[in-house]
Each structure stands twice: as C-alpha cells, then as structure tokens.
Amino acid sequence: MGRGAGAITARLRRAIETGVFADGEQLPPERQLATAFGTARSTIRKALNQLEKKGMVARRVGSGTFVNYAGPLQTATADVADLTSPLQLIEARFAVEPYMARLAAIHASARDLASMEAVLTRLESCGGDKGVFTRWDSEFHVLLARCSRNPLLLQIYQTINSVRSHAQWNAMKEQILTPEQIEAYNVQHRAIYEALCQRDSQKVAASIEQHLEKARQDLIGAKSA
C-alpha cells in the first residue's frame, strides 16, 4: 500500500475513532472520498481495504462501506449510567444540546437535512409505538449532534445517548410515552427541524430548550405520580 493510502487510512481511522463517522453509518462513496482527499479512487479503495482488515468498516456489495466500530467507551459509559438518574441525564442534555444545535444550524448540509427529514417522517408515523419512537428519537438527536461538525461534542452526545438506553430511563419512558405525549414531542421535533432548515441558530437552540424542558417536566410528573 502506498504512502498516500496510508495517510488516508490514518485520517479515516481517526474520524471513526472520534465519532465523526458513527458506528453503523455509511461512509461517503469512493468517488466522493477521492475528491475530498484529492487522490485516485484506487488509493481510496486501498485505504478502505486496510480499514476492513482492521475490522473498522464492513463493505457490502451493492450498498457501500459502513462503520463497524463501537469505540472503547462502552464500559465507562455503562458505569456512569448506573450513577446517573433520569433527571441528571436531562440536566446534562441541557448543558450540551442547545449549543450543539446552534452549530448544527450553521454546519448542516443538504444531505444532513434530508437524513433528518427521513427520520422525522419515521417519528411522525410511529403511531404511538414506544419502541419505534424511542429508536428514531435517539437517531434524530444523534443526527443533530453529527450536524454540529464537532467530533468532541459528537462523542459527548453519543455517551449521553447511551445513558438514555439505561434501565432507569427505560422504566420512566414506559410511564411518560403515551400516544398523546409522543405526538407532542414530534411537534417539537418538527419545530427543531424547521429552525435548522431556516439556519436560525437562536430559534433552533430555543426549540431544543423547550423540548428538553417538556421532557424534564414530564419526568418530574411521572416521578411524583
């Protein structure tokens, strides 16, 4: 493998390790990567072959190349999840998501917005199904984090998102996620998306804060019921 391919392998590996490309995400096509790195497609192919040998990507004929790397933080995340209450989780989201959303309003690409709209469509058609809503709600917020184009913020949010799947939080969701509440959350998701499309960083941050405040109040109500 040539020196050019080695350098590209290292850069792609770092992007995967820092969460720029998340586990399960499809990498851009070889042609697009070749343009981005200013090299030939054959060089990109060599770099992807090396990542595949390292087990960091999986190449699917006819579909593309997908990240296959969950990262080294799983054990630490599991430990902190045991110590974090659902209310503390909401507090952490308040600390991270509004500014993350501001960055997303600046940096989100047309492709990012199309992906978010597809996820939003799935959310709005979940029919009150808690499991389906939870899956796509998680994906919606991870996409928002990815749109920030800040690898550290993305990694922090991926940790937050992992805690959201913890047993304590799942138990509360069973009480909170009625069909009516799901519909209300999706109205807020739509407002967040529309603010992103308008590139209105102040509005999208305010929409996220409203969304999180509702989640906080619903959580307090469930705990006191």
Reduced DSSP (H G I as helix, E B as strand, rest coil) percent helix, strand, coil of the chain, to 5: 75, 5, 20
> What is the 8-class DSSP label of residue 9?
H
Q: Of 31, 49, 67, at which residue does a domain stop?
A: 67
Tokens of 127: 């029919």
Let me know: does 172 contact 70? Beta carbons within 8 Å: no
What CATH number corresponds to the domain at position 32?
1.10.10.10
Closest CA to 57 of 8, 24, 104, 90: 24
Strand, coil or helix: 11:
helix
One domain, residues 62 and 94: no
Cα–Cα distances in Å, from 209 out to 13, 88, 145, 158? 34, 15, 15, 19
Same-domain status, 33 and 102: no
Query: What's the average pLDDT block by block, 10 residues per block, for the chain (225 residues)?
Result: 77 86 86 91 93 87 81 58 83 96 96 93 93 91 92 86 71 85 97 98 98 94 74
Q: Are both 18 and 125 inside the same structural domain? A: no
* CATH classification of the domain holding 207: 1.20.120.530
Say whether both 138 and 202 belong to one domain: yes
Write down the pLDDT at residue 2.
43
Contact 89, 169 (CB under 8 A): yes
pLDDT for 33 equals 92
User: Are residues 24 and 131 part of one domain?
Assistant: no
Last residue within a domain, chosen from 28, 51, 67: 67
Question: Which pLDDT belongs to residue 197?
Answer: 97
Q: How far is CA 36 from the centre of its chain?
A: 23
Examine the domain organization and report whether 118 and 154 are in the same domain: yes
Are 59 and 145 in contact by the 8 Å Cβ rule? The answer is no
Shared-domain flag, residues 151 and 168: yes
In this structure, are 101 and 154 located in the same domain? yes
For residue 44, the SS3 value is helix
- Per residue in 82-120, pLDDT tens? 778 888 999 999 999 999 999 999 999 999 999 999 999
Strand partners, 124: none
- Give the pLDDT confidence score for residue 78 in this predicted structure: 58
Report field, pTM of the whole predicted structure over 0.75: no
Three-state SS annotation for 77-88:
HHHHHHHCCHHH
H/E stretch holding 10 reads helix 3-17
Count of domains observed in the chain? 2
> Which residue range(s) make up the domain with 92?
74-224
Say yes or no: 51 and 81 in one domain: no
Do 187 and 116 share a structural domain?
yes
Which pLDDT score is estimated for 74?
53
Do 146 and 154 contact (CB within 8 A), yes or no?
yes
CB of 1 within 8 A of CB of 48?
Answer: no
pLDDT number for residue 45: 92
200 and 137 fall within a common domain = yes
Specify whether 115 is located in the same domain as 173. Answer: yes
Q: How many whole angstroms from its chain centre is CA 194?
A: 18
Contacts of 27 (CB under 8 A, 6+ apart): 12, 21, 33, 48, 57, 64, 65, 66, 67
Q: What is the DSSP letter of 60?
A: E
- The last residue of one of the domains, among 34, 67, 100, is 67
